[in-house]
Amino acid sequence: MTETTTTFTISDLAREFGITPRTIRFWEDQGIVTPQREGRNRVFTRRDRARLKMALRGKRLGLSLAEINDLIGMYNSTEDETPQLLKCLHVIEKRRAALEQQREDIEAMLTDISQFEFQCQQELARRATA
């Protein structure tokens, strides 16, 4: 694949993004990418590549499939990307808040576990000296 190549095979994209062709077919089933066909082969455009990249980024951020679809779909509607960027910021803020809440919950749970562990150790020590 050269710098001037405007299309990609499923193997090209799988290799580039470190994913399986099955994953790319999944994103195709979800409407994220819409490759053209040359016989039985899928031919992906730069647009498909960019959409796949955005979908994978959304997945890494923990976004739902619906959120990923909404964000990617907004890029089809207009040349002005301001609404998309604002929506993206809103989605990211929601995801950050959810992750921060999860972190607080995990920290509270770890504190509870430590306290219970300490109580168990004390009880075992008490029984050992009794």
1-63 has CATH 1.10.1660.10 classification = yes
Average pLDDT of the chain is: 90
| Higher pLDDT, residue 79 or 108 | 108
Q: For the whole model, what pTM was predicted?
A: 0.70
Q: In whole angstroms, what is the distance from residue 63 CA to residue 30 CA?
A: 15
Residue type for 33, please?
Answer: V
Q: Where do the structural domains in the chain lie, given as residue ranges?
A: 1-63, 78-130
Judged on CB neighbours under 10 Å (0-12, 13-18, 19+), 32 is buried
Q: Compute the average pLDDT of residues 51-55.
A: 93
Residue 105 pLDDT: 98
Contacts of 43 (CB under 8 A, 6+ apart): 7, 8, 9, 35, 36, 37
- The pLDDT score that the predictor gives to residue 1 is 47
pLDDT (tens digit, 9 = 90+) per residue, 65-94? Answer: 888 988 887 776 667 778 878 888 998 899
pLDDT of residue 2: 46
